[in-house]
Amino acid sequence: MADGKKALVTGGAGFIGSHMVDRLLELDYKVVVMDNLSSGKIKNLDSTAVFHHTDITQPAMVEIIQREQPDLVFHMAAQTSVTQSTKDPIADANTNVLGTLRVLEASRRAGVEKIIYSCTGGALYGDPETIPCLDDAPLAPVSPYGMSKWMAEKYLEFYYRQYRLNFTSLRYGNVYGPRQDPHGEAGVVAIFSQAMLQGKQPQIFGDGAQERDFISVFDVIGANLAAIDRGDGKVMNIATGEATSVNRIFELLQGITGYKWDPLHAPQRSGEVYRISLDWSRAAKEIGWAPKVSLEEGLRLTVDYFKGSINSASGVPSAG
């Protein structure tokens, strides 16, 4: 129960953040959002959330946190592109490390009860020797994005030790679902879904045998809620434990959308892990969480969303 509590969602206009906002509002939290709209969109945002168009790397955000006095912070704002992080590691670290540090410092000063951090599992362990990969496997990120997300987690641990600023860090697999940006270079489910529905040929980087742990955004939101009262000072994977190839995602989406053609193939991209899945047993133990949405159901929900958004963009009323 919300008990009149106020939650700040940084990056709340983004894919995962906007679902977080919706769910918190449903649960009667007062919700404040901070987003610079670099990849997030106003149309994702419920109008009852208080919105601050602010950059987490700018000093103004400190005053906003001081004024708003949130009880909880869901820290989701980040530079999220692996490719962009390899092109401009300084900009990546500026948002993901220094921006996070500002959020932590401002939260400490404002007396925030807990920070729940959106970390990555997919980009943190490199190519692990065994899968599903445990939360305490050696960390070996191969991209600046993985490094900056890891460094932010280390600062959370420092603030916890030094100032008792409570946190839980959730290391997600590959999150997919409604509202994921199909125009970006990440988010294969969104990109394939939209392309197939529009009759365009999706592109697969490499041979498509690369495997990822695909987790529904709705399960990720469930984990964030479960971490409000549990998992203090802990880091944990939030994933399914299943490795699914990009080719398999292509086939499943072909079945759902009725798309009949083959994919285009392009060279594999640098900085990407080849094969990973993540063990989630620590999350089960620490926060009582388990994934609930099957891949087939999650993909269907995603395709339904893109059908609706394509129809509304073309003026065709969506069925149901």
Ligand X SMILES: NC(=O)c1ccc[n+]([C@@H]2O[C@H](COP(=O)([O-])OP(=O)(O)OC[C@H]3O[C@@H](n4cnc5c(N)ncnc54)[C@H](O)[C@@H]3O)[C@@H](O)[C@H]2O)c1
Nearer to ligand X, 35 or 286 (CB): 35
- 145 catalytic per annotation: yes
Nearer to ligand X, 30 or 149 (CB): 149
Collapsed DSSP state (helix, strand, coil) of residue 132? coil
- Token reading at 158: 């420092």
Instruction: Go through the chain and tell me how many residues it has.
Output: 320
- Token reading at 69: 């006095």
Q: How far is the CB of 39 from ligand X (least distance, A)?
A: 4
List the catalytic residue out of 29, 145, 155, 159. Answer: 145
User: Measured over all CA atoms, what is the biggest interatomic distance in the chain, rounded to whole angstroms?
Assistant: 57
Tell me, rounded to whole angstroms, the distance of Cα 228 from its chain centroid.
Answer: 17
Buried b (16+ CB within 10 A) or exposed e, 246-268: beebbebbbebbebeeebeeeee
Residue 103: count of CB within 10 angstroms of its CB:
27
Buried b (16+ CB within 10 A) or exposed e, 39-71: bbeeebbeeebebbebbbbeeebbebbeebebb
Q: How far is it, in rounded angstroms, from Cα 282 to Cα 239?
A: 11
Angle between helices 217-226 and 15-26 (to 10 degrees): 50
**Single-letter amino acid, residue 93:** A
Q: How far is the CB of 260 from ligand X (least distance, A)?
A: 28
Q: Which residues bind ligand X (CB under 6 A)?
A: 11, 13-17, 34-40, 55-57, 76-80, 95, 99, 118, 120, 122, 149, 172, 174-175
Nearer to ligand X, 40 or 202 (CB): 40
Nearer to ligand X, 28 or 127 (CB): 127
Can you say whether the dihedral through the CA atoms of 117, 29, 66, 35 is positive or negative?
Answer: positive
Q: How far is it, in rounded angstroms, from Cα 12 to Cα 42?
A: 9
Nearer to ligand X, 7 or 34 (CB): 34
**Secondary structure letter of residue 52 according to DSSP:** E
| Residues designated as active site | 145
